[in-house]
Structure 1
Amino acid sequence: MALRLARELQDPVMQAEVLCQLGWGSLQHDRFSEARGYLEAARQVIIGQEGYLLSFIEFGLSGVFAGLGHHRRAFWHANVSLGLLHADVGGAASRPLQAMARARQMAGDHVDAVALCKRALRAESAYEAPRIHALLMETLGESLRGTGDVERAIGCWREALTIFEEGGDHRAPELRDRLAKLVSATSG
């Protein structure tokens, strides 16, 4: 209904926002092909424009390609997202930096992923969403584990898990299991 209204009003930004939200919702439920369709349609509607909305679309596409296992494309879209942000957007840069870190992690480059996570932590602002911080801490923990820094990885995962559990995020059970296995492996 919202999309139909936006089209009737011939408002391309409103259309792109609705498509973007549909894509984001699909992405949150791991429906990657569906999310890709919505996000690419949103990008087509506002082609030639720059700014936060296009950056968010590219950020979403990074998540799509990460979910599909295409780490190079995920990194590319995250990098485009970062490049579209302006200095006045505050902590928004932490999102594409986290996505870039996740893509580097998928490629097995944990050292670069840790560096990108640290940049994202510096970019965070007090206005950043707790869930985004939790995703960042989960990514940082995974790459710290990959570099052998298990103690810090456990700390990052505990912080992420607390936020996921408080927010009722569907990622909490899986992270709880990974954390328990890592703690068990290090204490035995």
Structure 2
Amino acid sequence: FTLIQRSISAGASSIRTNIGLVRALHFPRAILPISAVLEQLIAFGASLFIMIPVLLLTGEPITWSWLLFFPAVLIVVTFCMGASLLFARLAANTKDVSQILPFGLRAWMYASGVFYSVDRFTAGFPEWVTTVLNLNPGAIFLQITRDALLESYSAPAIVWVWAAGWAVGSFVIGFLVFWSDEAAYGQS
């Protein structure tokens, strides 16, 4: 989830952070939030050097399902690019978005089941609460990465479909929203 949080935060502030470049040169502005996400992906790659030995030390065997980790990361990164484009557009026009965003992302993390099982947590709640929390993209992305790396955890195939849907939807909407105001970035 750290990859998601850092990618969206970095992408959201990318236009304001590089405003001098935006004003000086004409280039596709979408490069800035997308490159911010790729920068966070590289940093995430470095953390894998710690995560993999920890998985092995906790008794997790290396299985063929580990190969699913790469499509899972691709799905998450695609989602992050879309969300970064959307929030970069909002933050370019409203300075406070970048200040409020970390609090929203933290609340989203807690609602995504990073520290608990959503199904176990919502045991006494109405069914719709469980459904809403399970359809939360953060929870879905955690499920597919756990499915890939943890032998004791398996996610149904529909979860992968939902994950891909969230990723593609986020990217398309984020790109269209960002692109609709591309000429105005750096004007104010």
Q: Structure 1 or 2: larger helix share? A: 1
The TM-score normalised by the length of structure 2 is 0.29
Pick 1 or 2: higher relative contact order, CA cutoff 8 A, min separation 6: 2
The TM-score normalised by the length of structure 1 is 0.29
